[in-house]
């Protein structure tokens, strides 16, 4: 296991005192010292000899009347990367939280390294050598990397001095062994997302975790950071760690995992080595039916220019230049895809297009929508000019989670005359609107006029937003930012089809996505955004031709955006 920076007194004090009142001998609480203690060796059963890191037997978890996990049997081998895939709501997160001790299973048994355990809290799981990197990182931005890692375990008396220098050395050491670089003195708030994630991983390694659970680790990473993460995971595996990867991205599963378990509706529908399965097969298992991974994209016949961005410059309040002479145009009936690594000006472009520029930012150049400038206008005025925006962060910007589905289906469009009646809204036209959109976009919900939007799955929430925006009267231009982020495969298909449909109706669409696959599948033309400017643009003909060989096209785009 190597030397831990946490090798401190607790080893001795707990080694023989694992017995706690209320613990039956069979369900013994184990501590981080388990593998050092004599008692532990007696407890190892045949499972451990076969090298099973995590074994679940008949695991069921119910929340009230909802069964989130149903009768799950799963063996995760030691020294392997085991992926658990499934759509949103399939029960992956619940399962990982049970393993991590955040939830207590309703029925069933868990064995870690062959020993039955009952975790009362994540503390117990951590003591048993389990670590988890959550989807949302939990670092204190004001503290340095070292301080974050030792937080809660400072190796000093209450008023004593913390041996920071020594700690930094130990952390560098640990990082070096796992093959990644990090500056232990850097402030966490200044780190990139990829670096933050490495700090989280390092935290676990310094806690001597042998089983690492990663919940959607690539959701926030750029393609190159993803590759780097995978290299790290492979080297951790080589060092003997067991890695559990929770994800819904099938390409990644096939790229990095040894074994994959597919979950659907709370059950495990299959576990197999990744070498023996293809992506379409996995997708079918996940969704339970055949899905089109690639939507049909009929040729486009663009017409007049709708949006014209001309030499747009954006300077932040701190004086940082985020957009530099950015120019492009979008015609009616085409989808202009912007490919690029996050942080190259996408957010700034979106803010400018939707009239929500933070105070103190300087903007020059021009944006014309149907021949009229939109710079300096408010979102409401821009919307009135025939534009719509489907923002990147749906939860924060596009919906009111506590409002019922029906209200969200016209939120932002509530000023339209059709919905007005007296001082309030016309119940009749609201109901009509709801009924039509729910059917048209296949939005799955029980009672749209009562059910809060927040209770829907991510895919259905996004369908609500799309349904509302694509049906704006007199719309000529739509901004789509990350339209399928956090959306499951089944819903992606519907969403992509609706986007193509909108294009066929002559709407100009700006598509900004970090998924190159999505850009390639949907775009009519593609602009590669790098450092605030379009570095390269693929014409209509080029895009159509290159789409045939997706892998090659993806690599080619990759060259232009890094």
Closest CA to 69 of 100, 107, 119, 101: 107
Q: How far is the CB of 398 from other proteins (least distance, A)?
A: 6
Q: Where are the alpha helices (DSSP H) in 179-321?
A: 193-206, 223-238, 250-256, 279-287
Burial class (CB in 10 A: 0-12, 13-18, 19+), 555: exposed
Burial class (CB in 10 A: 0-12, 13-18, 19+), 320: exposed
Strand 66-77 and strand 52-63: pairing? antiparallel
Q: Which is nearer to other proteins, 157 or 396 (CB)?
A: 396
Which DSSP string do the residues of 12-31 spell out, in sequence order? HHHHT----TT--SSS----
Q: Which is nearer to other proteins, 131 or 355 (CB)?
A: 355
Distance CA 558, CA 554 (A): 6
Q: How far is the CB of 123 from other proteins (least distance, A)?
A: 20
Q: How far is the CB of 356 from other proteins (least distance, A)?
A: 6
Burial class (CB in 10 A: 0-12, 13-18, 19+), 13: exposed
Q: How far is the CB of 48 from other proteins (least distance, A)?
A: 36
Structural tokens at position 382: 């821009």
125's enclosing H/E stretch is helix 122-127
Q: Which is nearer to other proteins, 18 or 363 (CB)?
A: 363
Structural tokens at position 400: 């009111």
Q: Which is nearer to other proteins, 98 or 398 (CB)?
A: 398
Contacts with other proteins by CB under 8 A lie at: 354, 356, 378-380, 383, 389, 391, 396-403, 407, 411-412, 414-415, 420, 423-425
Q: How far is the CB of 388 from other proteins (least distance, A)?
A: 11
Distance CA 413, CA 316 (A): 31
Q: Which is nearer to other proteins, 6 or 411 (CB)?
A: 411
Q: Which is nearer to other proteins, 89 or 412 (CB)?
A: 412
Q: How far is the CB of 412 from other proteins (least distance, A)?
A: 3
Q: How far is the CB of 477 from other proteins (least distance, A)?
A: 16
Q: How far is the CB of 417 from other proteins (least distance, A)?
A: 12
Q: Which is nearer to other proteins, 298 or 424 (CB)?
A: 424
Q: Which is nearer to other proteins, 76 or 387 (CB)?
A: 387
Distance CA 488, CA 89 (A): 9
């Amino acid at each position: 296991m190597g030397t831990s920076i946490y090798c401190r007194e607790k080893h001795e004090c707990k080694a023989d005192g694992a017995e706690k009142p209320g613990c039956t001998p069979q369900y013994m609480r184990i501590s981080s010292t388990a593998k050092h203690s004599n008692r532990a060796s007696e407890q190892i059963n045949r499972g451990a000899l076969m090298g099973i890191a995590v074994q679940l037997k008949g695991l069921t978890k119910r929340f009230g009347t909802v069964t989130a996990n149903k009768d799950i049997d799963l063996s995760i081998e030691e020294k392997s990367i085991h992926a658990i895939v499934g759509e949103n709501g399939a029960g992956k997160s619940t399962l990982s939280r049970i393993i991590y001790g955040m939830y207590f299973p309703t029925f069933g048994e868990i064995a870690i390294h062959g020993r039955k355990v009952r975790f009362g809290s994540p503390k117990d799981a951590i003591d048993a050598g389990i670590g988890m990197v959550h989807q949302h990182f939990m670092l204190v931005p004001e503290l340095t990397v070292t301080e974050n890692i030792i937080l809660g375990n400072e190796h000093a008396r209450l008023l004593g001095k913390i041996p920071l220098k020594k700690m930094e050395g130990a952390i560098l050491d640990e990082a070096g062994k796992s093959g990644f670089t990090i500056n232990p003195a850097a402030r966490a708030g200044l780190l990139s997302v990829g670096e933050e994630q490495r700090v989280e991983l390092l935290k676990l390694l310094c806690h001597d975790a042998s089983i690492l659970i990663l919940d959607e680790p690539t959701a926030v990473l750029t393609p190159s950071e993803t590759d780097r993460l995978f290299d790290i995971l492979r080297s951790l595996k080589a060092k003997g760690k067991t890695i559990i990867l929770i994800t819904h991205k099938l390409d990644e599963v096939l790229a990095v995992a040894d074994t994959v378990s597919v979950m659907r509706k709370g059950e495990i529908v299959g576990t197999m080595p990744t070498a023996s399965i293809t992506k379409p097969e996995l997708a079918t298992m996940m969704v339970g039916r055949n899905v089109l991974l690639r939507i049909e994209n009929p040729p486009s016949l663009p017409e007049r220019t709708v949006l014209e961005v001309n030499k747009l410059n954006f300077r932040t309040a701190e004086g940082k230049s985020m957009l530099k002479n950015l120019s492009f145009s979008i015609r009616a009936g085409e989808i202009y895809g912007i490919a690029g690594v996050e942080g190259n000006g996408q957010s700034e472009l979106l803010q400018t297009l939707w009239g929500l520029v933070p105070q103190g930012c300087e903007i020059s150049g021009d944006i014309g929508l149907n021949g009229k400038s939109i710079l300096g206008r408010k979102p409401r005025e821009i919307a009135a000019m025939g534009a719509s925006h489907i923002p990147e962060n749906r939860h924060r910007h596009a919906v009111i989670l506590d409002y019922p589905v029906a209200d969200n289906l016209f939120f932002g469009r509530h000023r339209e005359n059709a919905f007005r009646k007296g001082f309030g809204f016309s119940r009749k036209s609201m109901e009509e609107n709801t009924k039509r959109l729910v059917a048209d976009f296949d939005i799955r919900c029980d009672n749209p006029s009562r059910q809060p939007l927040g209770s829907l799955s991510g895919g259905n929430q996004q369908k609500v937003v799309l349904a509302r925006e694509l049906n704006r009267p007199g719309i000529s231009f739509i901004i789509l930012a990350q339209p399928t982020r956090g959306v499951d495969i089944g819903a992606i298909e519907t969403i992509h089809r609706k986007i193509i449909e909108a294009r066929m109706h002559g709407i100009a669409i700006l598509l900004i996505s970090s998924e190159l696959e999505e850009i390639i599948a949907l775009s009519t033309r593609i602009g590669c955004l790098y450092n605030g400017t379009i570095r390269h643009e693929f014409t209509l003909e080029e895009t159509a031709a290159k789409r045939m060989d997706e892998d090659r096209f993806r690599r080619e785009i990759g060259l232009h955006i890094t």
